[in-house]
Each structure stands twice: as structure tokens, then as C-alpha cells.
Amino acid sequence: MNITVIGTGYVGLVSGVCYAELGNQVICVDKDPGKIDTLNAGGIPIYEPGLKELASANRSAGRLSFTTDLAEAVRLSELIILAVGTPPLPSGEANLAYIDQAALEIADAMNGYKIVAVKSTVPVGTNERIGKLIRARTSKRFDSISLPEFLREGSAIEDTLHPDRIVIGAESPSAAATMALLHRPLTERIVVTDIRSAEMIKYASNAFLATKISFINEIANICEKVGADVTQVAEGMGYDNRIGPSFLKAGIGYGGSCFPKDTRALIQIAGNVDYEFKLLRSVVEVNQDQRFNVIRKLETIFGGELKGKTVAIWGLAFKPNTDDVRDSPALDIIQHLVDNDVNVRAYDPIATANFRTLFGKSDVVWCDEALDTARGADALCLLTEWEEFSEVDLGRLQSALSQPILIDGRNVFKEEHLLGTDFVYYSVGRPSLSQGVKQQVPVLQ
């Protein structure tokens, strides 16, 4: 099939490359000439494991190309997939300006029947609106498809080539059948719904996963007070098939370009039809507060006064295996430290450049290496569970720090790692780990 994908962010690029991998002829379009130049030079503007190799193989095979010429790409394709951004407006609502613009450009380029599929996460009713926009500008026939995307950054290729399900929202049975055929090599589990339900499935899925995270984070906070271990609690809960083990990792809360944006957008979608989504409001509130547990733990250790201390930060990306820092909890944590005159030394294996751009000018010392970051610091806070952090020699880490204080925001370390060290170790929702590790919170007797 000849496919145009509009937008070369995570979704556009990964899905474009994967459709090409399935043997389709794919043109990826972006209005940003810098991105297209990078892609045409064999580079990849984002960090995503395996993407560069897969893109390069499909380009060499002649199945994948990159251009800024949306009109020409649309003319050559039967299926047009929108994968442009839908960032939040100050109200929390999704900004549909990129979607609208792309829809108008598609309309102006139409030269025959097309399927117009929307992979971007868009509020219920958006596909219908796009349809109206296009119809107002062209008499050429087309069918609208809602094609929500469920990939995760860091495992995007695996998620795309082996999805749990494909959701196709359609009015036209023949367009739905074409889309089912396209995705059949990926999975047998293809759910065909009406368009509005497909749009809602995306928001509901993200909101539910975010709810699981805030739920386990609150359980963790209670575990800290009652002396239970949230990792054991999550394991015990997760074996129940009705609950499942995933998304029960307590930590510093969810970040990234999707959960924070999509939970707020769904609250707005509900609000627009006079429904107050109380549960989701709490999920967002719990998540926003959870990141500050790191600060509260530092304050407990230093008797409330952080001014003048030096704090090392490990991890700036919102999760490992990505250089994406959008809505990363590290942004708020570091901002709070800087605002309180704490000297911050920060390191991330690959996300530092993006973080610096988003964070702006500040006195943070950006480091190139994990152990060096800890040198002379009064405490170390681990904010992203990059594998290299779990492999660090804790003896050398202890020597590098001026005080052996470790706040593990992602529960990376286990009891056996810490035995024989002098670390004052605070994690999330776990009581004292061993005699070698100093007590993090009083355990009720």
C-alpha cells in the first residue's frame, strides 16, 4: 500500500518505518526541514532503540522516504496518516492547530479517493471535524479512520510490531476492512469500533494506566508509614489476573509527553459536557505531589534546611531509553532545588541536551558521567531508572559522595546491593532494607 505519514515525531517516524518494514511504500512528511534533512542524511532526530537501523534498512530497500512536500506525498498515496502533535493548551485541552493545518493541506492536495487516518491523540469528535474541514475544500471522496497509537517511548518498535491490539474507528466498512488488512500481519486482535469510541479508547487507556500509577504511589506512601514494602504488595496484587502486574511500579510519578497531557485533556473533555471526572482529577493531583516526596525526604534528612547543600541528580528523562524530557518529574524537582539555593549537579546518559533546552538558563552543573556527578555531593537522588545506575559500584559511589545519602526515586536498588555500605537510603514505599542500611522511616511496632 502507498502510505503518507504526516509528522515525524515518535509516532510518525516509528509507525512510518514499521509500515515500510511490513512491505508498504511509505513517505514520511514533516514541515520541519531540519528534521527531514537529518532523516535524509541517515540520522534520526529522536533517540529510540533500534529505530535508526530499521529506518536505514527500509530506506536502502527503497520502501521509505522523507520529504517536506506534503502535497506531492498525498498525491502519491492511498492512505494518509496524521501523526502531528496535539500539545496541551493552558486549559489542558488538546491544541488541534497542527491537526487542522495538516487537514487543510491534505484537502488541497487530494487527487482522488483517500483514507485519512488519525494516529494523533485527539478529543472525541475531532475526526468528524477533520472530515468537515476537508469536505469544505474538496469534492474528492475520502473516508475517515481513527487509528489511535499505543506505543511507548523506549520500546516503540517492539510495541508497534507486536501490539496488544489495533483499534480502528470507522464509519465505512470497506475502509475499516482495508485498515484491518494492513494491520493483520501485526496482530489478530483488531478491534473495529465507531470513530468516537476509538478516540475515547485512547484517552481511557492512558487515564487508566495513569490511575494505576497514582494508586500504587499512594499505596507506597502508606507503606512508608505502616512499614510495608510496596514492591511486595505490588507483586502480590499483580498475580491476580483481574489486576495484572504492569504499571504498578511506585516511584516519583508519571511524566512524558502523553500521560500528563492526556489525563488533563480527558478532564477537559468531560468538563465540556458538564461531567466532573473526580477520580482523574485526584490521579493528576497525586501524581503532581508524588515527585516532591524526593524533596520531602531530603528535607527530613537535612533537618528542613536545604540551602547551600549540594545535591546530585541521576536521570533527567521521564523514563529510561528515551531522550524525551517533556513533563519529566526531574524538571519540577530540580527547579525546586535551584529555587531553594541548592547546588545541583545533574547527569543523564542521553537526555541532558534536551533537558537543558527545556529547563533554560540556570546554575545547574551538567555532568558527563554518573560517578563524577556524585563527587562532593551531600546527597544523590536517582530520578530515572537507567540500567547504568543499577550497575554502579556502590563502594565507589559512597566514596565519591561527601555524605552517603541516597534517595532512590525508582526503587532501583535491592537489599543485597546495599549490604555492607553506610548508605542512608530512602526509596519509595519500602521500609528499612537491612541492618546495614539506616532506617528510612520509623516502622510501627
Ligand X SMILES: O=c1ccn([C@@H]2O[C@H](COP(=O)(O)OP(=O)(O)O[C@H]3O[C@H](CO)[C@@H](O)[C@H](O)[C@H]3O)[C@@H](O)[C@H]2O)c(=O)[nH]1
Ligand Y SMILES: NC(=O)c1ccc[n+]([C@@H]2O[C@H](COP(=O)([O-])OP(=O)(O)OC[C@H]3O[C@@H](n4cnc5c(N)ncnc54)[C@H](O)[C@@H]3O)[C@@H](O)[C@H]2O)c1
Nearest approach, Cβ of residue 202 and ligand Y (Å): 7
**Per-residue x/- track, 383-412, ligand X (CB under 6 A):** ------------------------------
Q: Which of 231, 257, 293, 343 binds ligand Y (CB under 6 A)?
A: 257
Instruction: Count, in order, helices (H) and strands (E) of the chain.
Output: 19, 14
- Which of 274, 270, 273, 316 is CA-nearest to residue 291? 316
Residue type, 294: V
| Contact flag: residue 334 with ligand Y (CB under 6 A) | no
CA-nearest of 160, 124, 138, 114 to 12 is 160
Interface with ligand Y includes 30 (CB under 6 A)?
yes
Told to judge if 258 belongs to the known catalytic residues of this protein, a careful annotator would answer: yes
Known binding residue 361? Answer is: no
| Helical H segments across 227-328, by residue range | 230-238, 259-272, 278-290, 293-301
Ligand-binding annotation for 319, yes or no, is yes
Kindly give, in sequence order, each residue whose CB lies less than 8 Å from that of residue 380, ignoring residues fewer than 6 positions away.
311, 312, 313, 314, 373, 374, 397, 401, 405, 406, 407
User: Using CB distances below 5 to 8 A depending on partner kind, what does residue 421 bind out of ligand Y, ligand X, none?
Assistant: none
Contact call for residue 318 and ligand X (CB under 6 A): yes
Q: Which stretch binds ligand Y (CB under 6 A): 28-36, 135-143, 189-197, 397-405?
A: 28-36
Residue 146: name the closest of 128, 133, 163, 132 by CA: 128
Closest residue (Cβ) to ligand Y? Answer: 9
Neighbours of 164 (CB within 10 A): 9
Task: Kindly state the cell numbers that stand for 304.
Answer: 528542613
Partner from ligand Y, ligand X, none contacting 84, C-beta within 5 to 8 A by type: ligand Y
- CB distance 110 to 134 below 8 Å: yes
Nearest residue (CB) to ligand Y, 121 versus 293: 121
Answer yes or no: is 322 a known binding residue: no
Which residues are annotated as catalytic? 258
Q: Interface residues with ligand Y (CB under 6 A)?
A: 6-12, 29-32, 35, 70, 83-86, 98, 101-102, 105, 120-121, 149, 151, 153, 257-258
Binding residues are 30, 35, 86, 121, 150-153, 202, 247-251, 255, 261, 319, 326
